Amino acid sequence: MLQSRALILWCPAEGEDRPYEGTHETVLFCGFAERGLAVPVFDFLQALLRFWGIQLHHLTLQSILHLSIFTHMCEAFLGVLPHFHLFQYFFYLSPIPSTSMPTVIGGAELVLRPENESEYLFYQPSSKGVEWKSYWFYVGNFESPLPERTPGAPKAQASWMSTSPGGSQVDKLRSALAKLKNKGVTRGKVVYSFLGRRVQPLQRRIHPGFRYEGLEDPSRFSSEKIDFADLFKRCCKVLDDFEKAPALPRLFSAANPPENAWVRLDYYIRVLFFLLSADF
């Protein structure tokens, strides 16, 4: 799930009672890596952290899984980069366990909006990993670095509950998502796909999932094909209802680019990365 130790300078934290990262290190929880996070962190996640005014460790385990699934669903199943307004349509951020006393680690939980949840892909997150806060390691924090970890719990703000303005792009993507659901696509199949491709959706990659090039793709953390037994085990670690041999639709990739499926892609699906340059 990670590049080599020499490349990202990861090191264990055995025997430590709390993180003691160095100047050019950042803390990464093992459960986050198992659910699709790696460094350098993907621009979409970086932008969301800025938009919400939080740090990476404020998010929960299931929030990371939600983000990985949404990112890979957009790229490999819908053929677009993560769409911020579609994301807002489905999700909001909630303080954990309460607005008045959120926890320092995992005090912000990504939640599906009840009014739109039925439109989204179904899955049952794993009930395992309740002790995830006790397992971390360090990685180098050089390229597109995360901000230095600061003390304190996350503070809820208006951006946490911001809603999607909708529009023709969101409507068209909702329609495409409905077709995927009718074909039996679930969030479990999305997880199976990105783990099978051996990519971390929340990592900054050479190119997005709809340009995936197969075993030699530079975004893979290993060029070796994953053994099915290992893939199944990894999927079961993050999902409780994983199917043993899920059938996937034909995914977008370099061999099946989205331009073949979307009419006037540049008009209908303009990438919404305005967060990266927005003045908060």
Mean pLDDT by 10 residues, the chain (280 residues): 47 48 67 90 91 92 96 94 94 94 92 95 66 74 67 92 91 93 93 96 93 94 91 89 82 89 46 38
Which residue range forms the structural domain that includes residue 102?
5-276
**pLDDT at 278 (0 to 100):** 41
pLDDT score at 9: 44
Question: What whole-number distance in Å separates Cα of residue 218 and Cα of residue 214?
Answer: 9
- Domains contained in the chain, number: 1
pLDDT at 7: 43
CA atoms of 67 and 280, how far apart (whole Å): 21
Res 129: pLDDT: 52
